[in-house]
Chains A and B, each alone.
Chain A
Amino acid sequence: AQTVTQSQPEMSVQEAETVTLSCTYDTSESDYYLFWYKQPPSRQMILVIRQEAYKQQNATENRFSVNFQKAAKSFSLKISDSQLGDAAMYFCAYRSDSGGSNYKLTFGKGTLLTVNP
């Protein structure tokens, strides 16, 4: 079974600075997807960024980028120019590309990000 580990329960960053959230995962599969989701106090999970395992190039979405190290099974999220609205719980998630998995997401326990003005 796949597992996802987020080793930082809490992180803080100054507004306009850069912060990196860590995520490692364990799998024996070669084809899969990795996600970072943001959960604000509204509780709704919002997709931040997605990475296909077969792609070597790291995904980027505006101020958000990932460092995907497939061999090391590491998938960190970098937030540049942090804004107050970035404050939330961030979850790393894994999804198998195998239909037998029913494409369900396996989540880490989350990292609570605080942005200080």
Chain B
Amino acid sequence: GAGVSQSPSNKVTEKGKDVELRCDPISGHTALYWYRQSLGQGLEFLIYFQGNSAPDKSGLPSDRFSAERTGGSVSTLTIQRTQQEDSAVYLCASSLDPGRDYGYTFGSGTRLTVV
């Protein structure tokens, strides 16, 4: 696609429920990042995918968070047993080759509200 697409745009869920957030990167972009933006905070790195390499999960805040990337394209971030502190905007970004190309294209994010 022309840009990075994220769905849903907004999600309200009850505490304790599981949620799935989707990111569809730009076609051909091998690198994909997930970030979390909590209220009043900057973006916090969550996870990084690059081609077929093992993902860098060093930013995931707890084992309730997981992500996968199928076929080197679409990625899904899953949050299990959601808590109120999980409320945030979750942003996805893709890059053609972050080592050489300094461009990152961001999606418009998913605003998650846990009630």
Contacts and interface: CB of A to CB of B under 8 A. Distances in A.
B102 A106 contact: no
Interface residues of B, number: 27
Contacts, number: 55
A-side interface size class: 20 to 34
A41 to B, nearest CB: 10
Interface string B80-115: 000000000101010100110011101111010000
B33 interface: yes
Interface stretch (B21-29, B37-45, B60-68, B70-78): B37-45
A104 B109 contact: no
A104 B45 contact: yes
A93 B93 CA distance: 14
Dominant secondary structure at the B interface: strand
Contact of A106 (B40, B45, B104, B106): B45
Nearest 9 CB-CB pairs, A to B?
A107-B42, A103-B98, A45-B106, A107-B43, A109-B42, A43-B109, A44-B108, A102-B48, A104-B45
Interface of B: 31, 33, 35, 40-45, 48, 50, 56, 59, 89, 91, 93, 95, 98-99, 102-104, 106-109, 111
